[in-house]
Amino acid sequence: MVETRDLTFHFGKRPILHNLPLQVPAGSIYGFLGPNGAGKSTTMRLLLGLLQPTAGSVYLFGYELRRNRVALLSRVGALIENPSLYDHLTGFENVEATRRLRGVPAHRTAEVLEIVGLTDAARRPAREYSLGMRQRLGLATALLSDPALLLLDEPTNGLDPNGIIDMRELLRRLRDDHGKTIIVSSHLISEIEKVATHVGVIQQGRMVFQGSLPDLQRLQTGRARLVLETDSADTCRNLLPRLLGAAQIVGQGTLWLPMLTPAQTAEVAAAVVGAGQPLYGLRLEQPSLEETFLHLTETALS
Ligand SMILES: Nc1ncnc2c1ncn2[C@@H]1O[C@H](COP(=O)(O)OP(=O)(O)OP(=O)(O)O)[C@@H](O)[C@H]1O
């Protein structure tokens, strides 16, 4: 649905994006993740033709954006910053104003307000809307022409937990009930992991991970470790160089070992006790998705 080939962008002489290979399958919710300043907004602007690539190209629906700009962008809806609303107008009037400008059929206004869950609030002035409602109103406007693809840049930024949940539910419905493909950026994996089907992680303008959510979870499982608690991690490791030589000391009495088979785990337990050292605990620990994400972005930095 969206593909970029060697997408590169410089602001003046400053390189911002390096050979970005975005692959967004049709029907996916693609979580586009990266810390602040990684280049997410710049990528979104390139996908929308608001910036021109320094090198490389953008393909939407299988066609190159540069050659088919108007036709392709007519099938894309976007929310790339806080929506600019007329505060003195109602929610309905705000959507209606854009609908007329774009020449979209009149029945769409009520439909898009219904989709984003603002039917009941539609007669209230926008100045009374919470930030979450304002975002949803912006999204309603983006949905007017029934685009197949939605680009949402940090739509949950600044929202309270309820607002985040509402937005997540809305994204899920847009995909499941309305068949949209959605690219949604965030700097927090926790806001994305419950809803994304695919994930791309960028760091300093480079893609450091791209794949399905299960791919990311497998990466997380691969980083599972065995945590051994004793009195002196140092002594234990010195006494058992064959078994614990590769272990990482992470505290006075704590060692991390790579994942072992059950038989190897039992061998470690017996050896520690056999060497006269106390064994307070031996447990498997799975790093959180958050930790895996941080690891990805930190690895890319070093
Ligand atoms: N108009 C501009 N002129 C020069 N540099 C810019 C401009 N806009 C953004 N940048 C730089 O480009 C880099 C990427 O910015 P971008 O806004 O794409 O990141 P981001 O991942 O969206 O982060 P954030 O979540 O903070 O918006 C940053 O280093 C930023 O300073």
Query: What token pair was written down for 26?
Result: 């049709």
Ligand 1 site-directed mutation target among 9, 11, 151, most atoms within 8 Å of CB: 11
Average pLDDT over residues 267-273: 94
What percentage of residues in the chain have a pLDDT greater than 70?
Answer: 99
Average pLDDT over residues 115-120: 95
The 3-state secondary structure of the chain reads: CEEEEEEEEEECCEEEEEEECCEECCCCEEEEECCCCCCHHHHHHHHCCCCCCCEEEEEECCEEHHHCHHHHHCCEEEECCCCCCCCCCEHHHHHHHHHHHHCCCCCHHHHHHHHCCCCCCCCCEHHHCCHHHHHHHHHHHHCCCCCCEEEECCCCCCCCHHHHHHHHHHHHHHHHCCCCEEEEEECCHHHHCCCCCEEEEEECCEEEEEEEHHHHHHHHHHCCEEEEECCCHHHHHHHCHHHHCCCEEEECCEEEEECCCHHHHHHHHHHHHHCCCCCCEEEEECCCHHHHHHHHHHHHHC
Nearest CA to ligand 1 atom 31: 37
Residue 302 has pLDDT above 70, yes or no: no
pLDDT tens for each residue of 93-113: 999 999 999 999 999 999 999
End-to-end CA distance of the chain: 33
Which residues, 6+ apart, have CB-to-CB distance to 271 below 8 Å? 240, 243
Residue 301 has pLDDT above 70, yes or no: no
Q: What is the pLDDT of residue 259?
A: 75
Residue 297 has pLDDT above 80, yes or no: no
Measured between alpha carbons, how far is 86 from 81 in angstroms, rounded to an integer? 15
Q: Are 167 and 182 in contact (CB under 8 A)?
A: no
Q: What is the pLDDT of residue 300?
A: 59
16 in contact with ligand 1, CB cutoff 6 A: yes
Closest CA to 143 of 182, 87, 169: 182
What percentage of residues in the chain have a pLDDT greater than 90?
Answer: 74
Higher pLDDT, 225 or 148: 148
Measured between alpha carbons, how far is 142 from 283 in angstroms, rounded to an integer? 49
Distance 41 CA to ligand 1 centre (A): 7
Q: What is the pLDDT of residue 157?
A: 86
164 in contact with ligand 1, CB cutoff 6 A: no
Between β-strands 149-152 and 76-79, what pairing exists: parallel, antiparallel or unpaired?
Answer: parallel
Q: Are 244 and 268 in contact (CB under 8 A)?
A: yes
Average pLDDT over residues 106-123: 96
Q: Is the pTM of this model over 0.90?
A: no
Cα–Cα separations (whole angstroms), residue 233 to 132, 230, 242, 249, 268: 49, 6, 15, 6, 13
Measured between alpha carbons, how far is 114 from 130 in angstroms, rounded to an integer? 17
Region of 216 (left: φ > 0; alpha: ψ -120 to 50; beta: rest) is: alpha
Distance 52 CA to ligand 1 centre (A): 15
Q: What is the pLDDT of residue 296?
A: 77
Higher pLDDT, 191 or 244: 244
Ligand 1 site-directed mutation target among 18, 32, 41, most atoms within 8 Å of CB: 41
Measured between alpha carbons, how far is 192 from 137 in angstroms, rounded to an integer? 21
pLDDT tens for each residue of 124-142: 999 999 999 999 999 999 9
Q: What is the pLDDT of residue 213?
A: 87
Domains in the chain with CATH codes: 2-219 (3.40.50.300), 225-285 (3.30.70)
**Residue type for position 292:** T
Q: Edge-to-edge strands of the sheet including 198-203?
A: 76-79, 149-152, 181-186, 29-33, 198-203, 206-212
Distance 134 CA to ligand 1 centre (A): 24
Residue 50 has pLDDT above 80, yes or no: yes
Residue 149 has pLDDT above 90, yes or no: yes
Mean pLDDT rounded to a whole number for the chain: 91
pLDDT tens for each residue of 221-246: 777 889 999 999 999 999 999 999 98
Measured between alpha carbons, how far is 245 from 247 in angstroms, rounded to an integer? 6
Average pLDDT over residues 176-186: 95
Residue 115 has pLDDT above 60, yes or no: yes
